[in-house]
């Protein structure tokens, strides 16, 4: 699927990853703000897997690269 499909999937609560990424187990998650959030707009996190040697289960804000935007290798994955 392309990035537009991946973004639609994120908006439904799914997690997605790009088949081009070399990091195993990384995925994106859309954080929707609630009354406890410091942010008041949705934002996308890159989530690292629990098995990552340096950053287990770390979540960082994510911005797509041009390669990410043009890729057609996006896939829905299970949240870990």
For residue 17, being part of any structural domain is answered with yes
Q: What is the pLDDT of the chain when averaged over all its residues?
A: 91
Q: Give the model's confidence band at 51: pLDDT under 50 very low, under 70 low, under 90 confident, else very high.
A: confident
Answer whether 74's CB lies under 8 Å from 3's CB. Answer: yes
Residue 24 pLDDT > 90: no
For residue 52, being part of any structural domain is answered with yes
Res 34: pLDDT:
84
For residue 8, being part of any structural domain is answered with yes
For residue 80, being part of any structural domain is answered with no
For residue 36, being part of any structural domain is answered with yes
Res 10: pLDDT:
97
Residue 9 pLDDT > 90: yes
Number of domains in the chain: 1
- Domain range for residue 41? 3-75
For residue 70, being part of any structural domain is answered with yes
Measured distance CA(48)–CA(40) in Å, rounded: 24
Q: Which helix (H) or strand (E) holds 31?
A: strand 27-31
**For range 47-64, the mean pLDDT:** 87
For residue 31, being part of any structural domain is answered with yes
**For range 5-30, the mean pLDDT:** 94
**For range 46-53, the mean pLDDT:** 86
């Amino acid at each position: 699927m392309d990035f537009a499909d991946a973004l639609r999937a994120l908006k439904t609560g799914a997690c997605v990853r790009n088949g081009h990424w070399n990091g195993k187990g990384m995925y994106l998650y859309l954080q929707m703000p609630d009354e406890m959030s410091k942010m008041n707009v949705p934002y996308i996190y890159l989530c690292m897997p629990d098995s990552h040697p340096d950053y287990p289960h770390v979540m960082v804000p994510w911005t797509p690269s041009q390669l990410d935007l043009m890729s057609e290798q996006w896939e829905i994955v299970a949240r870990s």
